Amino acid sequence: MRHFLTPFLMSLTVGTAYAGPVENAAILDEIIRPGFAQLTNQTTALATVASHTCAPQSKELRDAYGTAFDAWIELSHFRFGPTEAENRAFALSFWPDPRNAIPRTLNALITAQDPSVQSPDEFSENSIAARGFYALEFLLYDDAFLAIEDRGYVCSLIQAITADMAVISGEISQDWDNRYAVLMLNPSNATYPDEDSVTRELYKALGVGLELLTEARLARPLGTFERPRPARAEARRSERSVRHIEISLTALRALAAQLSAPDAELSQRSADAFDRAIDLAQRVDDPDFSEIRDPAQRIKVEALQQAVQRIRTEIYPDLGALLDVSAGFNALDGD
Amino acid sequence: MRGRRHFLTSLFATTIVPKVGWAAVGSPAYLSAGRDRTGVFFLSGLTENAEITFSVPLPARGHAAAAHPFLAEAVGFARRPGLFAVVIDCSTGAVLATLAPPEGRHFYGHGAYSQDGQFLFTTENDFDASRGIIGVWDATRNYRRVAELSSGGIGPHEMRLMPGGETLVVANGGIATHPKTGRQKLNLPTMQPNLTYLSLTGDILETVELPSDYQLNSIRHLAVSQDGTVAFGMQWQGDRGAAPELLGVHRAEGNVRLFQGDEINHQRMQGYVGSVSFDHTQQRIGVTSPRGGLVQAFDLENGGDLGVFDDADVCGLSANQQGFIATNGNGQITRLTDLRPLERIQHAVQWDNHLVQLTDAHAMPKTRSF
């Protein structure tokens, strides 16, 4: 075990295989499991608020929505195991939605006065486009949905969506506690044959988060210089687009800190790179990217995009080498 | 379908004058894309013994390639979502033609020539309509695009010409993607992969779908034996511990058979097959799993599990004189017999996803194997 090696010997072992059971356990016990427990608490609180206050402009309801959404964004890169079972992550967060399935599906339910809103079981059978945070955002913030006169049905729909979100979050959290954490903490099973496979899974989650940032959360609104696409920004209706980037960067910084813990130098470089990106995100004073056509705004977002890209190209591969999970020219290609 | 009539009339119209044949470029047995240590992407020819016969640069990361049946011409395809395919004169390295997909299309990274070498077929995405397309290009007219066919599904990936040369078999992966969301999978809950047999003029001859439990099993890679048995590798999109069989075998008009190794090796694959190939006897099917770093083989006749060879980041796989030959992302090429390494050669490159066999000449043993 490296813990017993002297600093001199440690310097000789840099770059060799290191399966980090301590770090992996810490990620599970300090990040993932409390994170999903927190998400369950916040979505349950949101459902409770919605059960007595379903006016979309209610501050209480919107605050509860924002708090729960924050909790999800912190976890949105853990796309394996319990979140992938039964399409749970999709049901919580259907984004991006390039075909506008969300408003179409919600409108269909409203027009039909679909009775599934009265039954959690039936509601969970609906298209994922009518479920989760992004569907709820339309009902709470989109002008067309705010203008709907039949508030009774929309209220039932808001209550059904929030209740469904609480159920899904609870299922993910329980699945982690009762099943999946055991698999990852005792890696000699079919899902995780060895400690390296656990490390690789957690390392990949960091990659997923960075990819989501650069290729979706930033790239979608940036579009091209000739054609910026502010309407494609994530959660722009609730003006949460930039906030999500900052929350995600902060969460990924913590994950990278755990993964890089065995190497102080890399750990510091990682922290610095994330700090720089977070600082650049905080300088973007355009919460929904609506001013992305303004070159002065765009340049700030491009600087942020480059900072995240640098984490992907300069920190992420070095971390892979440290963890000896870098061999992935084909494995990470995915085709 | 646009251009189809013209394409039909030209199907038998042209006589090809051979230019330089494969022997002139060191008679490579395989093609593979890769990346060298300076970060340059390339396409190489490789001999049976894994020696490089030629290397020509590619504009960006490649994926698979298609070899002209007799001219020393090969098409290197860009990695998905591909915006180029480069036709290379393998004797000089000269770019003979650069294929760009038409507006609203991108390549998926695989393609196949017609038996006479006149037409090149490419798998493509009509991404706004979320529809799989087979592009048809006339190699005798500077690779002019002459027609496009429906692939019979969404997300066509690998495609092979069937023995006899009159049918294409296409792996329609079922996954919708759009360049504006990169490789994001847009339709997992509703995806429906299939295996489609097409005539060269686009008539759908047969569509094979798996039962609904396999709806998330994206059919991606193919191998075809000399008698027309099709082996297909799949990539599971559901919960990773829940992956069902990832290898299937089908014969036209017949039933599908699904193969799976022992539980641990199956789980090690992480729901992901990279390449599929028959061996030199045509009686064994190999599959690679880069995520698990293993090659497995199965007996075609009875589905028997023939074991495993551990090979980190392995992906490319083809038949070799005495079994299989596998390439990996660490630059190694391993010749295998009965899944034991006969020889391993290290090149200072990273070999990309696929090792494409040039002809059927090596499919049967030249010398008696032992």
Q: pLDDT value at position B346?
A: 86
Question: Is A103 found in the same domain as A208?
Answer: no
Residue A297 belongs to a domain:
yes
3-state secondary structure string, chain B?
Answer: CCCHHHHHHHCCCCCCCCCCEHHHHCCCCEEEEEEECCCCEEEEEECCCCCEEEEEECCCCEEEEEECCCECEEEEEECCCECCEEEEECCCCCEEEEECCCCCEEEEEEEEECCCCCEEEEEEEECCCCEEEEEEEEHHHCCEEEEEEECCCCCEEEEEECCCCCEEEEEECCCCCCHHHCCCCCCHHHCCCEEEEEECCCCEEEEECCCHHHCCEEEEEEEECCCCCEEEEEEECCCHHHCCCCEEEECCCCCEEEECCCHHHHHHCCCECCEEEECCCCCEEEEEECCCCEEEEEECCCCCEEEEEECCCEEEEEEECCEEEEEECCCEEEEEECCEEEEEEECCEEEEEEEEECCCCCCCCCCCCC
Do both A114 and A132 map to the same domain?
yes
Name the nearest CA neighbour of B31 among B10, B58, B6. Answer: B58
Is the pLDDT confidence value at A185 over 90?
A: yes
pLDDT at A101 over 80: yes
In this prediction, residue B246 has a pLDDT band, given cuts at 50, 70 and 90, of very high
> Using the beta-carbon criterion (under 8 Å), do A329 and B352 form an inter-chain contact?
yes
Predicted pLDDT at B9: 45
pLDDT higher than threshold 60 for residue B275: yes
User: What's the total number of domains in chain A?
Assistant: 2
Give the model's confidence band at B240: pLDDT under 50 very low, under 70 low, under 90 confident, else very high.
Answer: low
Cβ contact A335–B242 (<8 Å): no
pLDDT tier at A90, thresholds 50, 70, 90 = confident
User: Domain with A175 in it: what CATH number?
Assistant: 1.20.1420.20
- Is residue A171 assigned to a domain? yes
Count of other CB atoms within 10 angstroms of residue B253 = 9
Q: Please name each of the domains of chain B with its CATH number.
A: 4-12+28-357 (2.130.10.10)
Q: Dump pLDDT digits (tens) for B50-88.
A: 999 889 889 889 999 999 998 989 999 999 888 999 998
Portion of chain B with pLDDT greater than 90, in percent: 69
The answer to whether residue A4 is domain-embedded is: no
State mean pLDDT over B207-219.
95
Residue A328 belongs to a domain: no
What percentage of chain A exceeds 70 in pLDDT? 92
Write down the pLDDT at residue B238.
76
Checking DSSP bridges between strand B305-310 and strand B30-36, what pairing results, if any? unpaired
Residue A67 burial by CB count (10 A; 0-12/13-18/19+): exposed, middle or buried?
middle
Query: Does residue A181 belong to any structural domain of this protein?
Result: yes
The answer to whether residues A217 and A300 belong to one domain is: yes
Mean pLDDT of B273-289: 97
Over 50: is that where the pLDDT of A230 sits? yes
Spatial distance between the Cα atoms of B162 and B160, rounded to a whole number of angstroms? 6
Position B329 scores a pLDDT of 87
Q: Rg for chain B (alpha carbons), in Å?
A: 19
The pLDDT-based confidence of B3 (bands split at 50, 70, 90) is very low
Task: Give the confidence band of B369 by pLDDT, cuts at 50, 70, 90.
Answer: very low
> Would you state the pLDDT for residue A326?
53
Q: What is the mean pLDDT of residues B103-129?
A: 96
Say yes or no to pLDDT of B185 above 80. Answer: yes
Look at residue A19 in the predicted model and tell me its pLDDT.
44
Question: Which of A164, A185, A206 is the endpoint of a domain?
Answer: A185
Lowest mean pLDDT among A287-291, B91-95, B97-101, B364-368: B364-368
In a domain? residue A9: no
Torsion angles phi and psi, residue A196, rounded to 5: -60, -35
Which one is predicted more confidently, B272 or B94?
B272
CB contact under 8 A, A335 and B290: no
Whether residues B313 and A330 touch (CB distance < 8 A) is answered with yes
What's the pLDDT band for A121 if we cut at 50, 70, 90? Answer: very high
Cis peptide before B156 (omega within 30 of 0): no
Say what percent of chain A tops pLDDT 90: 72
My answer on whether A39 and A175 are in the same domain is yes
Output the pLDDT for position B311: 87
Same domain assignment for residues A35 and A138: yes
Is the pLDDT assigned to residue A10 strictly greater than 60? no
* Interface membership of B311 toward A (CB under 8 Å): no
The model's pTM is 0.62
Q: How far is CA B210 from the centre of its chain?
A: 21
In 3D space, the residue among B80, B29, B33, B27 whose CA is nearest the CA of residue B315 turns out to be: B33
- Min distance B354 CA to chain A CA atoms (Å): 10
Which of A9-13, A272-276, B59-63 is predicted most confidently?
A272-276
- The residue among A185, A219, A238 that closes a domain is A185
Nearest residue on chain B to A208, alpha-carbon basis: B184
The reply to whether A334 touches chain B by the CB within 8 Å rule is: yes
The three-class DSSP label of residue A88 is: helix
b/e string for A128-152 if b means 16 or more Cβ within 10 A? bbbbbbbbbbbbbbbeebeebeeee
Higher-pLDDT residue of B93, A130: A130
Among candidates A80, A216, A335 on the partner chain, residue whose Cβ is nearest the Cβ of B79:
A335
Starting at the earlier edge strand, list the strands of the sheet with B323-328. B314-320, B323-328, B332-337, B340-346
Confidence of residue A190 (pLDDT cuts 50, 70, 90): low
Which domain range does residue A319 map to? 194-323
> Looking at A125, A154, A185, which one is the last position of a domain?
A185
| d(C-alpha B295, C-alpha B104), whole Å | 37
The answer as to whether A6 is a domain residue is no
CA B131 to chain centre: 20
Kindly determine whether residue B184 and residue A216, on different chains, have CB atoms separated by under 8 Å: yes
A92 shares a domain with A30: yes
Both A128 and A151 in one domain: the answer is yes
* Mean per-residue pLDDT over chain B, rounded: 88
Task: Clarify whether residues A114 and A213 are in a common domain.
Answer: no
- Write the CB contacts of B306 (distance below 8 Å, at least 6 apart in sequence): B284, B296, B297, B298, B299, B338, B339
Q: Which residue of A has its CA nearest to B353?
A: A330
- Average pLDDT of the segment spanning A222-231: 91
Chain B interface, mutation test: which of A93, A203, A330, most B Cβ atoms within 10 Å?
A330
Is the pLDDT at A12 greater than 80, yes or no? no
Q: How far is A90 from chain B (nearest CA, A)?
A: 9
Structure-model confidence comparison of residues B177 and A11, the more confident one: B177
- Write the single-letter amino acid at B57: P
Cα–Cα separations (whole angstroms), residue A116 to A93, A106, A124, A127, A155: 20, 12, 8, 11, 13
Interface test with B, best of A176, A179, A194, A335 (most B CBs within 10 A): A335
Q: What is the pLDDT of residue B24?
A: 77
Q: Which of residues 187-206 of B touch A (CB under 8 A)?
A: 188-189
Among A302-316, B322-336, B356-370, whose mean pLDDT is lowest? B356-370
Hey, is A234 helix, strand or coil? coil
Asked whether residue A30 falls in the same domain as residue A130, the answer is yes
**B241 to chain A: closest CA residue:** A191
Q: pLDDT digits over B23-54, tens only?
A: 777 788 999 999 987 778 999 999 999 999 88
pLDDT at B342: 94
The answer to whether residues A179 and A226 belong to one domain is no
Confidence of residue B203 (pLDDT cuts 50, 70, 90): very high
The mean pLDDT of A268-274, rounded to a whole number, is 98
Confidence check: pLDDT of A16 > 80: no
Q: Are residues A62 and A155 in the same domain?
A: yes
A335, part of any domain: no
Which residue is it, tokens 């927190």? A38
The pLDDT score that the predictor gives to residue B180 is 83
Query: Which pLDDT does position B12 carry in this prediction?
Result: 44
Question: Above 70 in pLDDT, residue B360?
Answer: no
Is residue A234 domain-shared with residue A154, that is, in the same domain?
no
pLDDT score of B16 more than 50 = no
Query: How many helices (H) and strands (E) in chain A?
Result: 17, 0
> How many angstroms separate the first and last alpha carbons of chain A?
37
Find the DSSP H helices in A97-149. 101-112, 120-123, 132-141, 143-146
